[in-house]
Amino acid sequence: MNIIVCIKQVPDTTTKVRVGKDGKHIDPGGVKFIVNTYDDFAVEEAIRLKERFGGEVTVISMGPERVKEALRMCLAMGADKAIQLWDPAFEDSDPYTTALILSKAIQQLPYDIIFCGKQAIDRDTMSVPVYLAELLGLPQATLVVKLEVDPNARKFIAYRDIEGAKEVIEGLLPAVISTQWKLNEPRYPTLPNIMKAKKKELKELNAAALGLDSAQVGEKGSRVKVLSMELPPPRSKGKILKGDPREVCRELVRLLREEAKVI
Amino acid sequence: MDFLIPEDLKDLKNMVRTFVRKELMPLEEEVERSGKIPEEALQKMRELGFFGLTIPTEYGGSGIGTFGYCLAAEELGWAHSAFKTICGVNNGIGSKPIVLDGTEEQKRKYLPKIASGEYITAFALSEPGAGSDAANISTQAVRKGDRYIINGRKHFITNGPLADLVTVLAVTDKEKRAHGGITAFLVEKGTPGFSVGQIHKTMGSRGVYHSELIFDNCEVPAENVIGKEGMGFITAMKTLDDGRLTLAASCVGTAERLLEMSTEYAKRRVTFGKPIAERQAIQWMLADSATEIYAAKMMVYATAIRYDKGERIPAEVAMTKLYATEMVNRVADRAVQIHGGMGWIQELPVERIYRDVRVTRLYEGTSEIQRIIIARNILGYKGGLEG
């Protein structure tokens, strides 16, 4: 099987994020980047399919030089090839434009199934896999917690957790699958494989190589623009009420009603 | 200082860092309480290749150099010392004698098992009458046909009770001693005449066992000699050089954790209306620790990179070991001081780490031995310590 995985490099969950000077981006200074948590499930599922049915796993990521580190991690986990998509024109791409760029790269490759994490933990839009399936004209299953693939019948069965029930979807391959955290337990790359990952193919493609012109991508091609970014307001100090329990209760109810407006 | 680290080693360091934080640090209390590393964690470490980082790829390891291992050791230094010790021995003193001077047959037979962690190893040099003065050992090996008979008692042997394979140093020529009279032997667990003596109770390092090893007419075939008869002392000295650097690296990691804990605590703990972090007395302690950590890290990186290039720099290695181990003890002392009573009770890891780091000034050559090596280098004295 030819398996493709789209990944994103995101700030580590333990990083203290600061807003950059322009008020539209996070300040990358001192930020440690990791492979998006949900993408780990996508890579793991892809490698398991390869181990079972044979074939090749190609990992693709759009982003600047630093995403090579994330791609190398996926190669160390067991992917065979990696492609970095970058061009200065790609800066500030929204989910739609990102999916467009990914789709152009995927169209140059043979594929039977495409995996994406269900969302990136930085912007949480959950939309790239959906756009991607539409742009490629493929069936899709999102938030998949269990997957069965039959490469000979070219079919898949995907299980999704929905409100109070489990939904089972059958579809044709090729398809786009977005992965939810219950799907599998991603492996750690072994230390010898980390050392070998550097020898695997890591290709770079820019806008021209993808047949895209700069009006289609980046901020210009985007449907969504970031106007400003700010941190949530710091939590205000808690109040401690003291005194006669009766009075305290009365005051508590009043505060909950008038200040917190929760009752 | 990231610019000093090649990409693949950066990835390796990152992975070890993630693994240490997610898988090993949560087990610390259990290790301390039970005195044992949980088997499940050991199994994960085996599968991921933690035991064979420095072992050449053709024998099942990752084949990284001393600098690479120092980076891994730095990250392992964050966790309970049992973890860095158990894999440190297989990557260091447990495998180095074979990697450096073993025969092709020994390499094929043992290195893959050491790299996979199937075999736990030990290095038996110290004796009740010989530690820093290693040439003074009294364990003897006498040749009898195509076999050697070993007699003697070793002590303070890390992994002693667990080891499947032990490198044993024994005298084969009393006249020559360090100059061709000491030989290194490989002894497998279960060899008749080889047994574990008393298990030492220690100040720290729970989860790791140190013991006596007893050789009572223990017979090993001549093919278990590492290298050639009489080469053992040189093999031992080369083996120890390398271990000093990786120990220094792990001290940097431990100190970084102590500084992180101290910093967080100082910001949180309020006395007389403001966090103690705003008091100059505390700030100076933090500043001193940070400065010393930076210095030690630079020493480790620079020395390890030179070492990997093939430079023979025992004095610089000794300086790095001396400085980093003394440094982590100072940082641990300040960490306890900053934490106050919280640093003394066993609720936080500070108390344990304070006990655990004390041994770093003793093993792999005491601080005093390092100073002798450094001084002899400055003064231009040649030869062994006893010369």
pLDDT single digits (tens) B216-256 = 999 999 999 999 999 999 999 888 888 899 999 999 999 99
Q: Check if the beta carbon of residue B74 is closer than 8 Å to that of residue B13.
A: yes
Architecture of domain B234-379: Up-down Bundle (1.20)
Class of domain B2-116: mainly alpha
Distance CA B290, CA B331 (A): 9
pTM for the model: 0.88
Q: Specify the DSSP element, H or E, that contains B354.
A: helix B350-356
| Cα–Cα distance list, B365 to A64, A187, B102, B368 (Å) | 47, 39, 24, 8
Residue B82: predicted pLDDT:
96
**Residue A175 confidence class, pLDDT cut points 50, 70, 90:** very high
Q: Which two tokens stand for residue A3?
A: 């398996």
Distance CA A141, CA A170 (A): 9
pLDDT at B384 over 60: no
Q: One fold for both B2-116 and B121-230?
A: no
**B252-269 per-position pLDDT tens digit:** 999 999 999 999 999 999
- Chain B residue numbers touching A197 (CB-CB < 8 A): 8, 11
Phi then psi for residue B59, to 5 deg, are: -115, 25
Give the DSSP letter of residue A31.
P
Q: Check if the beta carbon of residue B122 is closer than 8 Å to that of residue B89.
A: yes
Domain boundaries, chain B: 2-116, 121-230, 234-379
Q: Which of A91, A112, A103 is nearest to A218 (CA)?
A: A91
pLDDT at A185 over 80: yes
Q: Which two tokens stand for residue B63?
A: 């084949």
Average pLDDT on A53-72 reads: 96
Q: Which residues contact B41 (CB under 8 A, 6 or more apart)?
A: B23, B24, B27, B83
Q: Which of A22, B79, A115 is nearest to B88 (CA)?
A: B79
Inform me whether the C-beta atom of residue B161 falls under 8 Å from chain A C-beta atoms. no
- Chains A, B: CB pairs < 8 Å: 50
Average pLDDT on B140-154 reads: 96
Helix (H, G, I), strand (E, B) or coil at B360: helix
Distance CA A94, CA B227 (A): 64
Inform me whether the C-beta atom of residue B43 falls under 8 Å from chain A C-beta atoms. no
Across chain A, mean pLDDT equals 94
Average pLDDT on A41-49 reads: 98
Task: Kindly indicate whether the ipTM for this predicted assembly is greater than 0.95, answering yes or no.
Answer: no
**B280-302 per-position pLDDT tens digit:** 999 999 999 999 999 999 999 99
Residue A235: predicted pLDDT:
82
What's the gap in Å between the CA of B62 and the closest CA on chain A? 5
pLDDT at B387 over 50: no
Average pLDDT on B329-351 reads: 97
Q: Do A191 and B8 touch (CB under 8 A)?
A: no
Q: Which two tokens stand for residue B326?
A: 């003394």
Q: Nearest residue on chain B to A34, judged by CA atoms? A: B14
**B25-43 per-position pLDDT tens digit:** 999 999 999 999 999 999 9
Helix (H, G, I), strand (E, B) or coil at A191: helix
Residue A232: predicted pLDDT:
87
Q: What domains can be seen in chain A, in order of their start residue? A: 2-221 (3.40.50.620), 235-263 (no CATH)
- DSSP sequence for A38-100: HHHHHHHHHHHHHHHH--EEEEEEESSTTHHHHHHHHHHHT-SEEEEE--GGGTT--HHHHHH
Residue type, B34: S
**B39-92 per-position pLDDT tens digit:** 999 999 999 999 999 999 999 999 999 999 999 999 999 999 999 999 999 999
B229 is catalytic: no
**Residue A112 confidence class, pLDDT cut points 50, 70, 90:** very high
Virtual torsion, Cα A219, A223, A229, A233, nearest 10 deg: -170
Average pLDDT on B344-370 reads: 95
Q: Which two tokens stand for residue A256?
A: 């909950």
Q: Which residues contact A23 (CB under 8 A, 6 or more apart)?
A: A228, A229, A230
A174 cis-preceded (ω within 30 degrees of 0): yes
Give the DSSP letter of residue B197.
E
**A63-76 per-position pLDDT tens digit:** 999 999 999 999 99
Q: Which two tokens stand for residue B261?
A: 């804990």
Residue A211: predicted pLDDT:
95
pLDDT at A248 over 60: yes
Q: Which two tokens stand for residue A237?
A: 């100090």
What's the gap in Å between the CA of B347 and the closest CA on chain A? 24
Inform me whether the C-beta atom of residue B10 falls under 8 Å from chain A C-beta atoms. yes
Residue B98's Cβ-count burial label (10 Å; 0-12, 13-18, 19+) is buried
pLDDT at A153 over 90: yes
Q: Check if the beta carbon of residue B205 is closer than 8 Å to that of residue B84.
A: no
Which residues of A90-245 form beta strands (DSSP E)?
113-117, 140-150, 155-162, 165-172, 175-179, 201-205
Q: Which two tokens stand for residue B126?
A: 């110290």
Residue B207: predicted pLDDT:
92
Q: Do A73 and B11 touch (CB under 8 A)?
A: yes
Average pLDDT on B143-166 reads: 96
Q: Specify the DSSP element, H or E, that contains B141.
A: strand B140-144
Residue type, A214: S
Residue type, A52: R
What's the gap in Å between the CA of A234 and the closest CA on chain B? 17
Homologous superfamily, domain B121-230? Butyryl-CoA Dehydrogenase, subunit A, domain 2 (2.40.110.10)
Residue B238: predicted pLDDT:
87
Inform me whether the C-beta atom of residue B90 falls under 8 Å from chain A C-beta atoms. no
Helices (H) and strands (E) in chain B, counts: 12, 9
Average pLDDT on A169-173 reads: 96
CA end-to-end span of chain A: 57
Inform me whether the C-beta atom of residue B53 falls under 8 Å from chain A C-beta atoms. yes
Q: Nearest residue on chain A to B72, judged by CA atoms? A: A191
